[in-house]
Amino acid sequence: MRDDHSHRGRPLRVGSLFSGYGGLDLAVEYATGGETIWFSEINAPSIRVFAHHRPGIPNLGDITSVDWATVPPVDVLIGGFPCQDVSTVGKGAGLAPGTRSGLWSHMAAAIDALQPELVVIENVRGLLSAPAIRPTPEGSTPDARNRDDATDERATAVRNLEPDPWLLGDESARPLRAHGAVLGDLVDLRRSARWIGLPASLAGAPHHRFRVFIAAYARTLFRTPLASDSSRGGETLDQVRARRGTIALSHQVIDLVLHGPHGSPASWNESETLFALVEDIFTAGGRYAEAIARWEHITGRAAPAPAILNDEKGPRPAPEFVERLMGLPAGRVTNPAHGLTANQQNTALGNGLLPLQAVVALDALQAGTEPR
C-alpha cells in the first residue's frame, strides 16, 4: 500500500483517460493542485487541443492497447469513459462487453494496476438507469461461483427466495444498472466511493447538462487529497493556483458559484436545449435572458453571437458560443491554431465537460454534503 504522504514535496500526479479537450483535467487540477503527466485519447481534433495546452505530455493512445506495467504511476486517475451506450439518447446497449461504454473495464484495469490514491469518474445521467451485462467466465456456473461450504441456514434461505427480478431470488437475469456495476467494480478494487449527480445549472450555467461524478479513494474510510497541502513543494494550494493563473475559471469565480452572493444556485434558470438558446436567447424578454446574464456575470465576459447563419442550411450553433456555455476561456477549443473545423470544435465541446460543474461536484464530495 502506498504511503499516505507519497506526494509530499511535489504536486500530485494526475493521469487522464478518455481525455477529450481536458475539461475534467481542468477541474481536478484546480481542486487538487495536481499536474497531468500523461493522457489517453484517440480523437485527433481533441488531441490537438489537449496537446496545445499541455505541450510535451505523452499520449498513451488507445486505452485497449496500453500496457499498464510500463505507465508512470499517478496519485490521481480521472476519466469520463464513453457515454454513447448508457446515454438516454443512445440505443441503450448499456455497459457491456463490446460496447463503447464497456471501455470502463479498461479504466478499471488501470486502477488495479496503478493503484492511485484518488479516482474521479464522470458520466451522463443515463449511467444511473442503463443496464449492465457482466461477462460470464468460460466454464463458470452459479454453483461453481459459490463457496463449497455455503450451506448454512442463511445461504439456503437466500437461494430459496421468490423469483422476484428486483431481489436476489432465482432469476438469473435480474437487472444490473451501469452505475451499480461501476460502484461494484470499485468495491472489488478495494475502493471507498461517493457519488453525486447534478446539473450544470447548479454551477450557474444557463443549461441543464446533468452529469454523474464518482470519487473513489483507496482506503476503507473515504477521504480525498483535495484540501490545501502546504507540503506541495512549499506552496499552498491557493499559491499553486495563483502561480498558474486562470486554469478554468478564477478562484474568485468559483467561490462566487459555491458560496453566493446570489443565493442558492439550484434556483437559477436552466435551458432545455442549445438550439432553444440559439433561437430565443437574444429576443427581448426571452425566457433565458436572465440565465445568460447571470452566466455573463460569473464568467466575466459577454456572450458571443450564438449562431452561424447559412442561407442554405439555416443557423447552426457558433463554436465560440458553445465554448462560452461550457464556461471555458475564449479560444480554449476554438483557437484557430488548433486547426479544427467548426464542426470539429462543436463535437469536441459537446463531448466535453463543463469544468466548473466538476469543481462544484468535487467540493460537495469532499465535504460529504450537498452542494451549497
Most trustworthy range by pLDDT among 8-17, 117-126, 217-226? 117-126
The average pLDDT across 14-30 equals: 93
* Burial letters 342-364, b for 16+ CB under 10 A, else e: eebbbbbbebbbbbbbbbbbbbb
pLDDT at 265 over 50: no
Most trustworthy range by pLDDT among 105-119, 159-173, 316-330? 105-119
pLDDT grade, residue 98 (50/70/90)?
confident
| CATH number where 52 lies | 3.40.50.150
Three-class SS state of 301: coil
Residue 293 and residue 164 share a domain: no
Cis peptide leading into residue 261 (ω within 30°): yes
Please indicate whether residue 297 or residue 242 has the higher confidence score (pLDDT): 297
pLDDT at 140 over 70: no
Lowest-confidence pick of 65-69, 97-101, 120-124, 264-268: 264-268
User: Would residue 283 count as lying in a domain?
Assistant: yes
* pLDDT for 4: 46
Cα angle: 211, vertex 319, 85; to 5 degrees: 35
User: Would residue 211 count as lying in a domain?
Assistant: yes
Q: What's the grid cell of residue 318?
A: 457558433
Give the CA-trace dihedral at 44, 246, 209, 321, to 10 degrees: -70
> Cα 89 vs. chain centroid, distance in angstroms?
18
Please indicate whether residue 205 or residue 140 has the higher confidence score (pLDDT): 205
pLDDT grade, residue 247 (50/70/90)?
very low
Residue 283 and residue 157 share a domain: no
User: Would residue 277 count as lying in a domain?
Assistant: yes
- Of 252, 244, 261, 249, which Cα lies nearest the Cα of 330? 249
Residue 223 and residue 155 share a domain: no
Cα angle: 166, vertex 167, 168; to 5 degrees: 135
Q: For residue 30, what are the contacts with CB-CB under 8 A and spacing of at least 6?
A: 241, 247, 248, 254, 355, 359
Residue 151 and residue 284 share a domain: no
The β-bridge relationship of strands 118-124 and 192-198 is: unpaired
Cα angle: 27, vertex 30, 34; to 5 degrees: 105
* pLDDT for 168: 41
pLDDT at 211 over 90: yes
Residue 53 and residue 151 share a domain: no
User: Would residue 81 count as lying in a domain?
Assistant: yes
Q: By residue range, what is the domain housing residue 155?
A: 142-172
Residue 111 and residue 147 share a domain: no
* pLDDT for 277: 45
Final residue before a domain boundary, out of 172, 194, 228: 172
> Cα 117 vs. chain centroid, distance in angstroms?
17
Q: How many domains does the chain have?
A: 2
pLDDT tens for 334-360 read 999 999 999 999 999 988 889 889 988
Q: For residue 150, what are the contacts with CB-CB under 8 A and spacing of at least 6?
A: none
Residue 34 and residue 50 share a domain: yes
Q: What's the grid cell of residue 63?
A: 486505452
Which amino acid type is present at position 71? V
The β-bridge relationship of strands 192-198 and 211-217 is: antiparallel
User: Would residue 1 count as lying in a domain?
Assistant: no
Which amino acid type is present at position 135? P
User: Would residue 2 count as lying in a domain?
Assistant: no
Question: What length does the chain have?
Answer: 372
pLDDT at 165 over 50: no
* pLDDT for 186: 94
User: Would residue 300 count as lying in a domain?
Assistant: yes
Residue 334 and residue 199 share a domain: yes
Final residue before a domain boundary, out of 153, 172, 191: 172
pTM attached to this predicted model: 0.77
Residue 149 and residue 26 share a domain: no
The average pLDDT across 167-183 equals: 69
pLDDT at 94 over 70: yes
The Cα–Cα gap between 108 and 81 comes to 11
The average pLDDT across 266-275 equals: 37
- Of 192, 185, 180, which Cα lies nearest the Cα of 94? 180
Q: What φ, ψ does residue 44 adopt, rounded to 5°?
A: -60, -45
pLDDT at 80 over 80: yes
User: Would residue 96 count as lying in a domain?
Assistant: yes
Residue 160 and residue 15 share a domain: no
pLDDT at 231 over 50: no
Residue 332 and residue 309 share a domain: yes
Residue 74 and residue 37 share a domain: yes
For residues 360 and 191, the answer to whether their CB atoms sit within 8 Å is no
pLDDT at 307 over 90: no
Q: Indicate the average pLDDT of the chain.
A: 75
